Amino acid sequence: MTIALDDQLMPTTRRCSHSQNPDLVSPSDIDGFMEAWAELDPEANNKLPESMLPELIAKVPPPLGTFGEDDAANSARSIAKKLKVEKPGGLVKFADVLLALSLKRYVVPRH
């Protein structure tokens, strides 16, 4: 699956990932997101039904998703409900979801 990411997202993500903060999104975190998305979007339409957001988030390792965390499925459902992403026709777009999950890392405090 080949996906073109927004030119604004990738340079910002790469620049931020060079710090020592493990909560920041790195290129390998984006790779994990891309792999999980590819499993759910084998036709590479770059769109998924909104109802698949919790499943996607549960397949993505932290800091973007909940894979491997205690109660990953419930956490993924909670994140999906709060995720600020447009859903035209009940579909979400790859870049919109990636950006929203990335931004969530900077807005939601970690406990």
Residue 31 above 50 pLDDT? yes
Note whether 97 and 85 are within 8 A (CB). yes
The model's pTM is 0.76
pLDDT in tens, 1-28: 445 555 545 544 444 444 556 667 899 9
Weakest mean pLDDT among 30-44, 66-80, 94-108: 94-108
Higher pLDDT, 10 or 71: 71
Distance from C-alpha of 38 to C-alpha of 32, rounded to nearest angstrom: 10
Among residues 100, 110, 88, the alpha carbon closest in space to that of 60 is found at: 100
Note whether 77 and 91 are within 8 A (CB). no
For residue 73, the model assigns a pLDDT of 94
For residue 104, the model assigns a pLDDT of 84
Q: Which amino acid is at 84?
A: K
- Count CA within 13 A, CB hemisphere, residue 25: 23
For residue 4, the model assigns a pLDDT of 53
Give the model's confidence band at 99: pLDDT under 50 very low, under 70 low, under 90 confident, else very high.
very high
| Per-chain mean pLDDT for the chain | 84
For residue 107, the model assigns a pLDDT of 66
State both tokens at 17. 């990932």
Peptide bond into 63 cis (omega under 30): yes
Residue 63 above 50 pLDDT? yes
Distance from C-alpha of 107 to C-alpha of 71, rounded to nearest angstrom: 22
Question: What is the radius of gyration, based on Cα positions, of the chain?
Answer: 13
